[in-house]
Amino acid sequence: MALPVNTTRLAIAAVVFSVASGNAYADRSAALKDAYVSYNNAGLHYIEQDLDDYNCNQDGLRAYASVDIDGHWYALGSVTDVSGNHGCGSSTLAAGAGYRTAFSPSFDLYGTLSVEHTSPDNGSNDTGLIAAAGLRGIIYNNIEGKAEIAHHTAFRDTTALNLGANYWFTRTIAATLDTSLSDEGNSIAAGARINF
């Protein structure tokens, strides 16, 4: 049995509206990602760490940066210096490379491989690799989010879940909040980032 003409027109209009809305949402998401999610950036965090295995609470600063190489490949690095109770504390240098590709109109899928060297205030130094993979993109309007799994080989092998959010005041300046959860402890960091 054929549908009445008005019902058919209504169904066609609903499909057209749905497709148009979906395309508009995808276009808006892509525009927001292009505006705020940059791989040319630098930032500074105040970080607080709680290391269960070492009965250590420590805090300090982390400076980090990322530079786009060709639209997919990028370089990244960081310097962290923390100190705390029970004589704990350390300085860590990390540098590596990453590759990213579009996962959706608003999110990138990325992977990174870095070398990190940690010098504890007490004890021996160690160098290892960090292999990480995650998603990064726009959650809503000017709020960027990140979810990442990272495996560290220095000292005892450990895997961490890293989560982050950036609130972009403009296209170049954001407030940042990050947390890391692993079998060795957890950390929280707050700071600022600039795109360049």
Question: Which pLDDT tens digits describe the chain residue by residue (196 residues)?
Answer: 555 556 656 556 555 554 444 455 467 888 999 999 999 999 999 999 998 877 889 999 999 999 999 999 999 999 999 999 877 899 999 999 999 999 999 999 999 999 999 999 988 999 999 999 999 999 999 999 999 999 999 988 999 999 999 999 999 999 999 999 998 899 999 999 999 9
Q: By the 8 A CB rule, do 115 and 96 touch? A: yes
Q: What are the extents of the domains in the chain?
A: 35-195
Return d(Cα 84, Cα 93) in angstroms, integer. 18
Looking at domain 35-195, which of 2.40.160.40, 3.40.50.2300, 1.10.10.10, 3.30.2010.30 is its CATH number?
2.40.160.40
Q: Which residue has the tokens 């760490």?
A: 49
Return d(Cα 183, Cα 88) in angstroms, integer. 18
